[in-house]
């Protein structure tokens, strides 16, 4: 580096220098980066253990330069419980999609949260099963067409999209529950702060922290990246409002 130039942007240390396998316009890469930035800022990369889930997000270990355990579909919060109970001083997080967390893994997420396990959960909600080819997810919006709701999600038959951030906020064991989006620079900055705060909750108070990230799946939505981003704003945020649903750490600070 010379005096003339200053490097203002670089790859977070916690991310490996590899090419992405995610589809064009997919938000996983952005969310991975925000998690890695949080690890860098909090200086926890060397003591962070990731728990990968099943779906597009399984390749966590291909991107993050950290130790990783791969969990069965939906079971990441239970696996993370086992890891954290053994490695009490390490930082443990799960990274799960909507089918994984809000359908097959509902019992595991609710009870890990309810026990107040000292883990961080990054929940990527893109309203569809990405890896299996765009089937209806527990978060698929009413009337949304997917390969298993070809006429659009019929709430009379299929029930309603689940709002996980709100649901978990109602549990005593939860320290922090929030919903963010990464469809615009403004939202990405806010999401970065939320993810950092979620990891910081674990570092400082050892509580259960949950960040739901509204995200795109342009391939399975049949949209280009820009249209997919617009859909987050127009269709997802009205049903899944952004905001902090619980923050016990702030409440304590306020007292």
Residues within the interface to another protein (CB under 8 A): 45-49, 51-52, 58, 61, 65-72, 75, 78-87, 90-91, 107-108, 110-111, 115
Alpha-carbon span 212 to 31, nearest angstrom: 11
Q: Of all helices (H) and strands (E), which one includes residue 62?
A: helix 60-63
CB closer to another protein, 52 vs 236? 52
Alpha-carbon span 225 to 68, nearest angstrom: 30
- Please state the closest distance from residue 216 (CB atom) to another protein, in A: 24
- Please state the closest distance from residue 23 (CB atom) to another protein, in A: 17
Alpha-carbon span 69 to 119, nearest angstrom: 14
Q: Of all helices (H) and strands (E), which one includes residue 110?
A: helix 106-114
- Please state the closest distance from residue 74 (CB atom) to another protein, in A: 9
Q: Of all helices (H) and strands (E), which one includes residue 154?
A: none
- Please state the closest distance from residue 188 (CB atom) to another protein, in A: 27
CB closer to another protein, 69 vs 242? 69
* CB proximity list for 40: less than 8 A, separation 6 or greater: 12, 13, 14
Task: Identify any residues that bridge with 96 across adjacent strands, giving them in sequence order.
Answer: 123
- Please state the closest distance from residue 30 (CB atom) to another protein, in A: 22
CB closer to another protein, 203 vs 230? 203
Nearest to 121 by CA among 56, 185, 53, 64: 53
CB closer to another protein, 28 vs 187? 28
CB closer to another protein, 65 vs 158? 65
Q: What is the CA radius of gyration of the chain?
A: 18
């Amino acid at each position: 580096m010379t005096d003339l130039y200053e490097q203002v942007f670089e790859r977070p240390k916690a991310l490996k220098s590899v090419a992405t396998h995610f589809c064009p316009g997919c938000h996983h890469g952005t969310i991975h980066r925000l998690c890695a930035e949080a690890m860098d800022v909090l200086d926890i990369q060397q003591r962070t253990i990731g728990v990968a889930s099943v779906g597009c997000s399984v390749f966590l270990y291909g991107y993050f330069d950290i130790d990783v355990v791969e969990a069965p579909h939906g079971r990441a919060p239970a696996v993370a419980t086992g890891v954290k109970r053994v490695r009490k001083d390490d930082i443990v997080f799960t990274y799960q999609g909507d089918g994984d967390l809000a359908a097959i893994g509902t019992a595991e997420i609710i009870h890990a949260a309810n026990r107040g396990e000292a883990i961080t959960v990054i929940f990527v909600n893109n309203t569809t099963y990405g890896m299996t080819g765009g089937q209806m997810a527990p978060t698929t919006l009413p009337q949304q067409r997917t390969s298993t709701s070809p006429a659009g999600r019929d709430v009379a038959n299929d029930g309603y999209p689940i709002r996980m951030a709100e649901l978990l906020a109602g549990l005593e064991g939860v320290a922090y529950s929030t919903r963010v989006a990464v469809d615009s620079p403004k939202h990405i900055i806010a999401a970065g702060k939320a993810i950092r705060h979620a990891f910081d909750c674990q570092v400082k108070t050892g509580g259960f922290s949950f960040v739901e990230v509204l995200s795109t799946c342009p391939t399975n939505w049949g949209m280009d990246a820009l249209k997919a981003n617009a859909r987050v704003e127009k269709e997802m945020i009205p049903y899944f409002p952004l905001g902090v649903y619980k923050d016990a750490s702030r409440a304590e600070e306020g007292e």
